[in-house]
């Protein structure tokens, strides 16, 4: 720093405060009297003004007095800066032999950098909803010989479980539905003959239970007739897409958009497509458009963006309005709902939405649901709406799954060959002691519902296959419960393997003897599309001389048993004993068959991974 000295106006370099250097005296005239006093006063003012000014930027750090706070001390910690900004100030070149004193690290605030504390990313609360249920229990044939349920072709449970396992998690217990795991896979059973009355073929197999060899399994399969895409009736489709804020992740709206474009590529000129979206409100993005205008349809799909709330009720109502506007008589009239099911605006009560869908089903418009999402996924709503809407429920965890549902299985997803399909199985108390239905807990019907054509049930699409598995305990084998001490004579006789006394006379006696070779009697009721009255189909389940082992059967039967075992094991069921991954993974690998799309090989890997996760 330079300081003004005396009246002569001479400047001199001010020494650094910590240097002990001497300055040569200036020789000047010495004023006296008032003039001297005035000069001294002026010099003092100038000296003070120079001293209180801002320090030279190169000497800021050195001029600080340790322990003395300044305004800079109360500012937020500075961001990380280049090292050159924190280096000691350079010393003037004309001062020889000077080295700046070492400064303790604690005295340099610019050198003290506190490492930022790690804040883990906020995870969205898990609000996923699944329908709660308990496994079907064992039933005593003497007390409850009849089992009734609705057919189902839903497959969403398998894809959802796959998503969990691929992320290193086991699925929630209620996300596992055994019938959907089994029905996910295609089987090579033959369909009906071209001139057959029924649009499907029913088959029953009897197998020894692999987890309890003294017990048996009955595998009932229903194979629908195949319909070529070119022969399908014209389709009136409405894509109903949730574009609320929760749909923004890559595995939600972007996945849905890609999947719908895959379906668009399959449309024919006679088909019509509308696009409706909902978020905080609902709107028609694309009015009914011919299927050969693919560029226009794809452009409408591409422009979708996620934001806002979830006004699902408004979207559903608007989609059905569009479907009614473009209704094709004797055609395919269907709404495809793609959402995570997270409703938060308007009506959110599932029962009210279910009633709305049911009303439209009676007007000839069906509903298929395509679920996406994870932590906020409302699977219970997706499945319920599809069931009441005469459609099917699917979960899209990848574009590959979207291709399977919307391309490979397009005719099955869109074209219905049998409506309101119900199954009723009556077990023969003379040959079967106990039974249990594996899966279909959410599709149980009352016995009297079977003959009531007003009761809704599942629809079967072209080429679909439905598989149902019963486990049974033959007469004379050890059961799960002790027989009753008190009961009718007929009950006692049946439990002892004897012919009931009341059957000793007449045609009933002959009928009983004829049925000793039957394990059960299977009945199916269904409606032709658009019809009000149901048709009945029946067949027996014959009693084999001995129960064939699983290894002796075809690959389809063995693979179905492996998948059913895996599903029960995932649910933590005690009904399969110690049967576990070692057994059902081996069984699955040995029964892969042709496996055109690699789905069976993938299942074996998932089963193996789930065993690792459960350890």
* Interval 422-475: pLDDT, tens: 999 999 999 999 999 999 999 999 999 999 999 999 999 999 999 999 999 999
The pLDDT confidence band at residue 41, using thresholds 50, 70 and 90, is low
The pLDDT value given to residue 73:
34
CB 520, CB 557: distance < 8 Å: no
Which of 136-150, 219-233, 480-494 shows the highest mean pLDDT? 136-150
The residue among 71 and 172 whose pLDDT is bigger is 172
What count of residues does the chain have? 615
> Does pLDDT of 337 surpass 70?
yes
Distances (CA, A) of 133 to 136, 381, 385, 449, 614: 9, 15, 18, 21, 22
pLDDT digits (tens, 9 = 90+) for 51-69: 444 444 334 333 333 343 3
pLDDT digits 0-9 by tens, 103-125: 444 434 444 444 455 455 555 56
DSSP string for 108-141: -GGG--PPPPP-PPPPPP---B-----PPPPEET
Residue 13 scores a pLDDT above 80: no
Q: Average of pLDDT values for 410-425?
A: 94
Tokens found for residue 400? 């590959």
CA dist., res. 219 & res. 375, Å (int): 36
- In tens, the pLDDT along 196-225 reads 999 999 999 999 999 999 999 999 999 999
Q: For 81-85, 488-492, 525-529, which range has the lowest pLDDT when averaged over its residues?
A: 81-85
pLDDT-derived band of residue 501, with 50, 70 and 90 as boundaries? very low
pLDDT digits (tens, 9 = 90+) for 535-579: 999 999 999 999 999 999 999 999 999 999 999 999 999 999 999
Please report the pLDDT score of residue 486 as a whole number: 82
Contact residues for 541 (Cβ-Cβ < 8 A; gap 6+): 204, 206, 218, 220, 425, 518, 519, 520, 521, 522
Residues 6+ apart with CB under 8 A from 220: 202, 203, 204, 423, 425, 467, 468, 469, 470, 522, 541
Which CATH superfamily, name and number, covers 229-413?
Answer: von Willebrand factor, type A domain (3.40.50.410)
H/E element, 39: helix 33-51
Lowest mean per-residue pLDDT among 31-40, 42-51, 88-97, 488-497: 88-97
Q: Which residue has the higher pLDDT, 596 or 500?
A: 596
Given pLDDT bands bounded at 50, 70 and 90, which one contains residue 347? low
Spatial distance between the Cα atoms of 135 and 571, rounded to a whole number of angstroms = 9
Q: Flag whether pLDDT at 95 surpasses 50.
A: no
**Which of 34 and 448 is assigned the larger pLDDT?**
448
Which token pair is 287?
Answer: 């009015």
DSSP state of 130: -
DSSP 84: G
Contacts of 589 (CB under 8 A, 6+ apart): 604
Of all residues in the chain, the percent with pLDDT exceeding 70 is: 75
pLDDT of res. 199: 95
Please report the pLDDT score of residue 89 as a whole number. Answer: 40
* 275-332 pLDDT, tens digit each: 999 998 899 999 999 999 999 999 999 999 999 988 888 999 999 999 999 999 999 9
CB 480 within 8 A of CB 434: yes
Name the pTM for this structure. 0.77
The pLDDT of residue 367 is above 60:
yes
Question: What band does 484 get if pLDDT is binned at 50, 70 and 90?
Answer: confident
Average pLDDT score over the chain: 81
Q: In the predicted model, is pLDDT for residue 14 greater than 60?
A: no
pLDDT reported for residue 482: 84
* Numbered ranges of CATH 3.40.50.410 in the chain: 229-413
């Amino acid at each position: 720093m330079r300081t003004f000295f005396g009246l002569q106006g001479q400047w001199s370099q001010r020494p650094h405060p910590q240097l002990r250097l001497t300055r040569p005296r200036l020789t000047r005239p010495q004023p006296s009297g008032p003039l001297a006093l005035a000069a001294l006063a002026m010099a003092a003012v100038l000296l003070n003004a120079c001293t209180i000014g801002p320090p030279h930027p190169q000497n800021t750090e050195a001029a600080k007095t340790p322990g003395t706070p300044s305004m800079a001390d109360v500012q937020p910690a500075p961001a990380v800066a280049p090292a050159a900004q924190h280096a000691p100030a350079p010393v003037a070149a004309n001062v020889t032999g000077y080295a700046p004193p070492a400064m303790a690290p604690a005295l340099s605030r610019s050198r003290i950098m506190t490492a930022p504390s790690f804040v883990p990313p906020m995870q969205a609360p898990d609000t996923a909803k699944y329908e709660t249920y308990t496994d079907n229990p064992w039933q005593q044939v003497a007390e409850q010989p009849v089992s009734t349920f609705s057919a189902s072709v839903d497959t969403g449970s398998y894809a959802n479980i796959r998503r969990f396992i691929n992320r290193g998690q086991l699925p929630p217990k209620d996300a596992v539905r055994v019938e959907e795991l089994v029905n996910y896979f295609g089987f090579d059973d033959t369909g009906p003959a071209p001139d057959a009355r029924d649009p499907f073929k029913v088959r029953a197999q009897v197998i020894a239970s692999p987890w309890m060899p003294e017990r048996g399994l009955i595998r009932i399969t229903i194979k629908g007739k195949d319909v070529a895409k070119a022969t399908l009736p014209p389709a009136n489709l409405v894509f109903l897409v949730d574009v609320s804020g929760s749909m923004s992740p890559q595995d939600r709206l972007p996945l849905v958009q890609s999947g719908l474009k895959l379906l668009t590529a399959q449309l024919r000129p006679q088909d019509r497509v509308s696009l409706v979206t909902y978020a905080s409100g609902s709107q028609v993005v694309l009015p009914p458009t011919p299927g050969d205008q693919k560029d226009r349809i794809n452009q409408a799909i591409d422009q979708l963006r996620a934001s806002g709330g979830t006004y699902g009720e408004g979207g559903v109502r608007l989609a059905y309005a569009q479907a009614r506007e473009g209704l094709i008589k004797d055609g395919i009239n269907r709404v495809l709902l793609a959402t995570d099911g997270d409703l938060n605006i308007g009506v959110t009560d599932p029962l009210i939405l279910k009633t709305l869908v049911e009303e439209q089903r009676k007007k000839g418009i069906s509903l298929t649901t395509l679920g996406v999402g994870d932590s906020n996924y409302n699977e219970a709503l997706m499945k319920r709406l599809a069931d009441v809407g005469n459609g099917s429920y699917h979960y899209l965890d990848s574009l590959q799954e979207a291709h399977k549902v919307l391309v490979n299985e397009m005719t099955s997803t869109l074209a219905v060959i049998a409506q309101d399909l119900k199954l009723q199985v009556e077990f023969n108390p003379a040959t079967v002691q106990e039974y249990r239905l594996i899966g279909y807990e959410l599709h149980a019907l009352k016995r009297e519902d079977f003959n009531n054509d007003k009761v809704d049930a599942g629809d079967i699409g072209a080429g679909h296959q439905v598989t149902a598995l019963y486990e049974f305990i033959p007469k004379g084998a050890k059961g799960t419960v002790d027989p009753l001490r008190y009961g009718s004579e007929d009950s006692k006789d049946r439990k002892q393997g004897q012919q009931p006394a009341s059957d000793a006379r007449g045609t009933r006696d002959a009928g009983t003897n004829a049925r000793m070779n039957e394990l059960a009697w299977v009945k199916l009721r269904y409606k032709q599309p658009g019809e009000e009255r149901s048709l009945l189909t029946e067949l027996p389940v014959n009693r084999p001389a001995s129960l064939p082992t699983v290894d002796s059967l075809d690959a389809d039967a063995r693979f179905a048993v492996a998948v059913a075992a895996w599903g029960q094991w995932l649910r933590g069921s005690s009904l399969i004993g110690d049967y576990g991954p070692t057994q059902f993974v081996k069984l699955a690998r040995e029964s892969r068959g042709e496996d055109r799309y690699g789905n069976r090989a993938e299942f074996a890997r998932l089963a193996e991974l789930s065993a690792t996760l459960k350890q």
